[in-house]
Amino acid sequence: MSSLDALFQPFKIRDLEIPNRFVMAPMTRSFSPDGVPGEDVADYYQRRAAADVGLILSEGTTIDRQGASSDPRVPNFVHEDSLAGWRSVIGAVHEVGGKMGPQLWHVGMMRKPGQGPYPEADSDSPSGVTHTGKQVLPAPSDEEVADMVSAYAKAAGHAKDLGFDMIEIHGAHGYLIDQFFWSVMNQRDDRYGGSLEQRTEFAKEIIRQCRAAVGEGMPIFLRFSQWKQQDYTARLAETPEALESFLGGLADAGVDVFHCSQRRFWEPEFDGSDLNLAGWTRKLTGKPTVTVGSVGLDSDFFTSFAGQGAGASSHSGLEDLAARVDRDEFDLVAVGRALLHDPAWVAKVKRGKFDALEGFDAASLQVLT
């Protein structure tokens, strides 16, 4: 038995069946002019699906709110042309036997005034407060919040109609849903504010409405993180008990799989235990989890923002991942930059071609390989 066999066991959740535990992590590419993914984008995803990636999560694709995007070259999940583009993408992935879901995204107040395809639009937020505590916009009304919720559900319905296999809701990294989670930016005093558990109400409404839109067969993934782009040291939950309180209602609302974003997957989440964020989440909720964070590489992704590459990690790092999957710490493993740089990364691991594994060249960010 190979030391990596656990990584190549099938996985099933609702109607989704994938042949192994490898997931392509969502990575913003900005190669979709006017929000429309073209043939080059379809080919980009198809190459990875054809090279043994078990499940592909699309780059973040924005929902039907004018303030949802800060970049007109980021794909959207709204307009007739962009939806036609996504139909071609999922068709290309299915053609080679792959499975895929869109990551539904709203950047919230990470969007600066004047950015995006609708520069005149206001940015959405929980309470109009920036990460510095400054009030820059009025707090949205209940009706406006309800429209944000329904925009996610509308996008989920499009995913179902287009033939995608699952959806992921982006609730991490300091974007809109995460801003509702974070007390620094969510200063509401209604049902969407208050304690950490109460601050999940916005996400719970999104999850419930998305479930109604996609039906019972499609799995719903939720990506969340402790850290924020606005503050890398931020934490929603300082203890396992707080994390359990935070996650419990989200699980009950209908999350099938939690995608637990860390900068480095090997780092323990709390003192006194080797479990990472995905391990704790699985233990506390009983739900399947995805681990992610510098898989296959020797440095975290923030170095990439500075134009730096990363070296390939050793075979022993993959053995550690497999051992942790085998003992049910987490279920799926998301690979980001290594797979962005090399479409055949999973296929090479499957065939034991470890000497052929490459690191990450920052130039990969400028092309669709």
Per-residue pLDDT tens for 53-92? 999 999 999 999 999 999 999 999 999 999 999 999 999 9
Return d(Cα 295, Cα 271) in angstroms, integer: 22
- C-alpha separations of 67 from 34, 108, 125, 266 in Å: 15, 7, 10, 36
**Catalytic residue from among 44, 175, 192, 232:** 175
Q: Are 145 and 192 in contact (CB under 8 A)?
A: yes
Return d(Cα 95, Cα 77) in angstroms, integer: 21
CA torsion 188-191-193-196 (nearest 10°) is 180
152 catalytically annotated: no
Helix (H) or strand (E) holding 81: helix 80-95
Q: Which of 356, 332, 333 is nearest to 344 (CA)?
A: 356
pTM of the model: 0.95
pLDDT at 362: 77
Q: How far apart are the first and last CA of the chain?
A: 34
Return d(Cα 360, Cα 349) in angstroms, integer: 16
pLDDT digits (tens, 9 = 90+) for 301-320: 555 445 555 566 655 589 99
Which amino acid makes up residue 90? Answer: I
Q: Which of 224, 217, 273 is nearest to 251 (CA)?
A: 224
pLDDT at 28: 96
Instruction: For the chain, 369 residues long, give each residue's pLDDT as a single digit of tens.
Output: 478 999 999 999 999 999 999 999 999 999 999 999 999 999 999 999 999 999 999 999 999 999 999 999 999 999 999 999 999 999 999 999 999 999 999 999 999 999 999 999 999 999 999 999 999 999 999 999 999 999 999 999 999 999 999 999 999 999 999 999 999 999 999 999 999 999 999 999 999 999 999 999 999 999 999 999 999 999 999 999 999 999 999 999 999 999 999 988 999 999 999 999 999 999 999 999 999 988 887 655 555 445 555 566 655 589 999 999 999 999 999 999 889 989 999 999 999 998 888 877 878 888 999
Sequence-distant (≥ 6) Cβ neighbours of residue 96 within 8 angstroms: 46, 49, 50
pLDDT at 34: 97
